[in-house]
Every structure is written in C-alpha cells, then in structure tokens.
Structure 1
Amino acid sequence: MPDEAPTITRRKEFITISDELRTYLRHYGRLAALPALYRDLQSFMSAYPLMDKEGRSTLWDTVVYERSQLKDLWPRLTSIYSLLKTGDLKAVPHLYVERVDFCGFGNSKPFRIRVVNEYNDNYDHFYIKVADASRVYGLELEHLLSPNRINYLVHEDTLIEEHIAGVPGDVFIGEYFERSDVNRVRIAKEFVKFSERCFIRLLGDMRSYNYVVDMTPDFEETQYRVRAIDFDQQSYEGAKSVYLPQFYKENLPVVKLCTKYLNYATMQQYQQEERSLIARRYLSEKSRLRSLFRAMKHYPAEPPAKVVQLKKELGEYHGTGVFDDCMSMGDIVERHIEFMLGKQLGEKTSAHPH
C-alpha cells in the first residue's frame, strides 16, 4: 500500500454553474424546468435515523413533513421522477412517494426520494441536490468517457440525479471478497480498470462508500463493473494521490486482492485496454468534450493554490512539463486526458505506466 495518504477538503466550496455551462447543458438536454427545487425539501419538521436490516445506522435520516405540505409536494416529486425517466413532466397516478431521506454527511447534503408503483410495489429512487459545477463536470465526464450512461437534470440551483444501482463498495469488500461463488480475478481486473478511469479523468475521493459494484449474471459466471456514484471531487483537490483510488485505506483490501491475483504485466494490460476504450469514446465525443472543457476553463472557481499543486505533482509523476502552463483545473483535466491517451489518440506523447 502506498505510504502517501490522500487528503480531502472536508467541506468543499460549491462552485456556481456559469452561464456558459448552462448553455452547454441546455444544448445537450440537461436543463429542465422542475416543479420542485432543493429548497422546497428543506422545510421538513422532523427527522429520525434510517437503519439498515441489521439495525446499523445508514447515515441517512428519514424526514417528516407537515401533512399540508405532502398534498402539494408529493405530486411534484413524482412528476420529476417521470421527467427523469420518460421525458414527460406529469404526475403519474399509480406512483407515490413512500419516503424522503436526507444525508447531512456528504458535501452535497442530498435528499433521496423513494418512489413506489402501487400496482406491483416496485420501487426506485432518485436524488435532489444542490447544483454544483464540479459535480456536473464529473457527471458529464462519466457519461462521455466511461462505459456507463448517466441521467440527470439541472434547474436553477437544483440537481436531479437518477439512482445508480449496485452493491456499495464497502459492503462488497466486507461481504463478497471471501465468498466462494465470486471470481476474484474478475473483481481485481475491474478494480484496476476502474482506478484507471478515475485517474485519467481526475475523479477524486473514490473511497469504498463512493462507488458501487454492479453484478450481472453471465451464461457461465458473473460479470462485475465498478461504478462511481459520487462526483463532488471531480478535479478539485491539489494532491495527485486524491485521484488514485488505491491510496485510500478503505480500499486496502482491494489493493491486496489485485496484488494477489494479478501480476504487473497483467495490470498493465488491463490499463491499456481501458485507455483504448476511453480513447474511442473521446474521439467520438470530441466536439462535446471541447465545449465542456471550455466551460471548465473560462470560469475557474477552484482555489488557485490547488491548481498549482496538482499540475506540479502530475508533472513530477509523469516526468513531463506539459502541465506547466495550465491555469485552471479544466486545463489540467483536458491536458491529462490527452497525455494519458496519447498513444491511443495518435499523439506523440504518452504517459509512463503507473
């Protein structure tokens, strides 16, 4: 395990969504007039801890509203769910809000809405958060460069996100690693590829509770995919180690698993495979990515000292001066992606294996 531990700003400042970023979001169908905003959910009158099936705290609280509020608020929330899922803003009669949970633990202080279909009791969730430019950049980069598609909407200072299904990383590490029916080699492979995706696009704070493991039964064995679920720390911190998931103590069992089942040559092979896939996505979405990077660079709001630190540490890590003239995190992210994918993009420069 590397001896350099990442440091995370405890409460990251929210970065306002600029007019240029809103124009980008409107162009790509991410803006929508919503019937309820984040502030509408803040007026709950009480809350009580939400426990899991084992009676342990989930760090979420179920909130309670006055009865007079519910008649007005619940149809607006089911309308948002309908818009998120079907593109049609209307209250669906057979959907109802069973519960609203609030988490004051994370940076985004999200509300989680549980929607139930009264015909079959099937349920789903979505999230209402304060709109933050860092998170939006993270969601967009995930949508464009990862194998996953992300569904979200923005209106004024409110961000709506769909639920990303999977076993929470900390639960997966604690309960699945030792099971006889799991393929540890496949799990190790997917964690290597996940780490590579995070580092290339500089998504930080991938501790075990900030990602999930999606398991899909195949005709012979189960397939695994590790998916980020928290995008607050998209290119915000200055320490390079923040963007390397293997540096977090919460992921130490993952590091040990990879070390046990994969040799260095195999890990390099998986890293190269992932770079090739990201490069294909990059080339197919190059125009959209250029627009996104412009918005990131034209309205930098991250602390300048963090920009200076990150470009210095990345330059030292890769043994290059290509980051020296970067003036914002947007500059660094664009340059880092192109540098890491240099060979796959047909460029002359490429990163050293890590």
Structure 2
Amino acid sequence: MNLLYDRNIIHSQEPGKPSRRKQIYPVNDELRDYLIRWGREVSLPVSYDDLLHFRFSIPRLDKDGNDTHWETVSYDMREWEYLREGLVKIYAILKIEGNNSYNDHLDVASIDYCPFGNSRPFRIRIINRFNDNCDHYYIKQADASRIYGLELEHILSSNRMLFFTNYNTLVEQHIPGIPGDIFIEKELNDEHTNKVRFAKEFVKFNEHCFIRLLGDMRSYNFVVNVTPDIEGYHYKIQAIDFDQQSYEGRKNIYLPQFFKDNYELVKLCLSHLNKESIEQYQAEERTLMTFRLVSSKLRMQSIMNIMVKDNIAPPEKVNQLKTELAEFYNQPRFLKCTTMGAVLKLQMKQKLIKNLQQIPKDKRHFVFR
C-alpha cells in the first residue's frame, strides 16, 4: 500500500481499534519443541505466577508527575529474598548465558507491574551496585501469538530478539530507544532532524509490518533509535510490542499509516517523498525481508509449519482478515485459509513473490511449499 495514494487517510477515522483485552493463547507441544530446539526454552528460577504474590502497589509517576500506567509492587521480606535472588539469576541467563560469577554486585532495584497490558507484564530493574548503572527486562505470560511475533521479528528484521520461555513464563529483553510518541512530540520538528531520512524509515517500517501482519503499531508501541552518520543522522524504527501478531481481523490495523497517533509521520512522508521514492523504499524492504527469509529458511519453515496449524485468533477475525485481503489483492486463495498462520503465509508469498522469483526455485519452494 502506497502512502502517496492515500492522502485522505489523514482525515479519516481509525480503522477499528485493536482489542482492549486480547486472549492469551497457550504454547502448544509443537511450539514448545521448536522453542527447545532453538534454545528459547530454559529453566528459570522465578515464574510469572511467583511475581503475582505482591502485597501492595503504588502508582509509578514520571519525572513530571504524570501517571505511567505502571505500579511499583512490594512483597513481604521472605518472598522478596527469594524473588531477588532468582531475578538476578534470570538477568544472568538473559545477558551472560547464566554465568553467576557476577551476581554479587547485581541487585533488583524495583519491580513494576502494568495491569493494563494484554500480557500484564512485570518490569524488572537491575542495578549494578558498583556504579549504579541500571538495566531492565520484562517477565510476562507466555502467549503463543506474542512468541510468534518475537520469533518472526528475529528472523525477518535486522533486530536480534533476546527472549526465553519456561512453561507459562516469557522473559524479554528491554528494547532501548525513544518512544515513538515522545519522538513525534519533541524530536520530529527539531531543526537537526533529517526529515527525509526519517520519512524513508517510516515507509519501510509500514511495509515491514504489513508483510508480516504485525498489528497495532501506534506510536507508543515502537521506538526510534538515532545514530550519528557521516551526513547527519540515521534513524531506525523498531517495534517493541508483539501482542498483535496476526490477531486482528481488520487489514488496516497491520498498516501503521492508518493510526491517528502516526498521522504526523504520514504527513511528513507526503511532504518529503514522491511516488517513485516511496515505491523504491518499499521495494528495498521487501528485498531485505526476502534475503533474511531465504537465509533462515529452515527456521522459517519450521515456525510457519507450526503456526499454520495453531489457533491464535478467534475464527471471526480469521474470516474477516482473509476476506479483506482476498478483496485487496483480488486473490481468492485467501478464502481457503482457516488459521491466521495460513493467512500470514499466503500474505508473505503474495507480497514477496516478485523477489522470490529471483531466488532459485528449490530454495523458495523450501520456504513456502
């Protein structure tokens, strides 16, 4: 979908908001075997359920006194000592392959809880007691659709996703960057911001999300990383929320361009890019995704074979999405899909078919057979 062809979206309504409370889908045996095979399933000393035993909580405010929608939780002393030791060990598993020789100078500074998120996450703040440097990671409920989203991000993007599972517990790295809504408010119109470069990255991000059906990329669900370059700055947009991987029925929910939160970015693209440039950047993203897909064909085929059989969305959402995509592409093959995984597989093939035709037939057949 080309931004330049849709100038009226700036004045349009949002295309139906994502579900406020998404169902948690369990990890089935096949997906569990996949996670074990690729080193994602590990034994953890603390589970998500352990963290639910807090005694009370207080709202966590930002530096300006605004509610962050996170709550700092407290535990009784015996529970705290058990959690503190286990959470430091999890950090060692996440960062240094479980090497506990550095644990003596690490401590848990705080534990925050977000009751509003789909996965009701806990945010663990780890502090180095020698220099007061802090780091974070998250513990969430192991939702199958979210795990598919993290794994697809790892395979199909330049971002290496660090996460582990243990039964119903999911541990995720913290993804650093400027939250998208903060960037739009404070950085987008700064005189030092290279608006053309940023517009290019938003076009590519928009294309990436649609190809892999990652939904709900409102501005607070992605971050922006800014890197000094020989000619100004380079920008990278990275998703940080994967709850809406192949879940919603509305096609436009998978296109960041349609959210009101992102309208300033859409207007930026329309004012700084022409039709040919937009199409070039979309083609660049499809080319990169094709190379990544083929280079990880064994892993990709394995995860897709599991996903096409898994139930990760209500039937009515599957039916709505496949109908909208069939109409969008004028491709009735979508109507034969019975799961979100099958819709995603056909969507990727539909979007990447021209790029795949440049790949030897035996390799592309291996991925999408």
Residue 312 in structure 1 maps to residue 323 in structure 2: yes
Letter in 2 for 1:313: E
Residue 27 in structure 1 maps to residue 68 in structure 2: no
Q: Which moved more, 1:293-302 or 1:99-108?
A: 293-302
- What is the aligned length? 348
Determine the structure 2 residue equivalent to 1:96.
107
**SS at 1:11 equivalent:** coil
8 Å Cα contact 1:80/1:89 also seen in 2:
no
Letter in 2 for 1:316: E
For 2:13 and 2:325, how far apart are their aligned partners in 1?
14
8 Å Cα contact 2:144/2:312 also seen in 1:
no
Residues 151 and 234 of structure 1, relative CA distance in 2, 3 Å threshold? same
**SS at 2:284 equivalent:** helix
**SS at 1:159 equivalent:** strand
For 1:314 and 1:166, how far apart are their aligned partners in 2?
33
Q: Deviations over 1:145-164 (max 9, x none)?
A: 01111000000100000000
**SS at 1:71 equivalent:** helix
8 Å Cα contact 2:145/2:312 also seen in 1:
no
Residue 291 in structure 1 maps to residue 331 in structure 2: no
Q: Deviations over 1:258-277 (max 9, x none)?
A: 11111121111100000000
Q: Which has the higher helix share?
A: 2
CA shift, 1:299, in A, is: 2.4
Q: Deviations over 1:249-288 (max 9, x none)?
A: 1111111111111112111110000000000001111121
Determine the structure 2 residue equivalent to 1:58.
68
**SS at 2:355 equivalent:** coil
Residue 13 in structure 1 maps to residue 23 in structure 2: yes
**SS at 1:342 equivalent:** helix
Alignment of 1:136-147 (within 5 A): 136-147=147-158
For 1:16 and 1:264, how far apart are their aligned partners in 2?
43
**SS at 2:334 equivalent:** coil
**SS at 2:43 equivalent:** coil
Residue 247 in structure 1 maps to residue 255 in structure 2: no
After the TM superposition, which parts of structure 1 deviate over 4 Å for at least 4 consecutive aligned residues? none
Q: Calculate percent identity across the aligned residue pairs.
A: 49
Q: Deviations over 1:15-56 (max 9, x none)?
A: 110000000010000000100000111111111111112221
Could you state the TM-score of these two structures normalised by the residue count of structure 1?
A: 0.96
Could you state the TM-score of these two structures normalised by the residue count of structure 2?
A: 0.92
CA shift, 1:5, in A, is: 2.2
**SS at 2:332 equivalent:** coil
Letter in 2 for 1:82: A
Which of 273, 281, 290 is residue 284 of structure 2 equivalent to? 273
Determine the structure 2 residue equivalent to 1:196.
207
Letter in 1 for 2:35: L
CA shift, 1:4, in A, is: 5.3
Residue 210 in structure 1 maps to residue 216 in structure 2: no
Aligned residues: CA RMSD: 1.4
Which of 111, 134, 141 is residue 123 of structure 1 equivalent to? 134
For 1:104 and 1:88, how far apart are their aligned partners in 2?
29
**SS at 2:320 equivalent:** helix
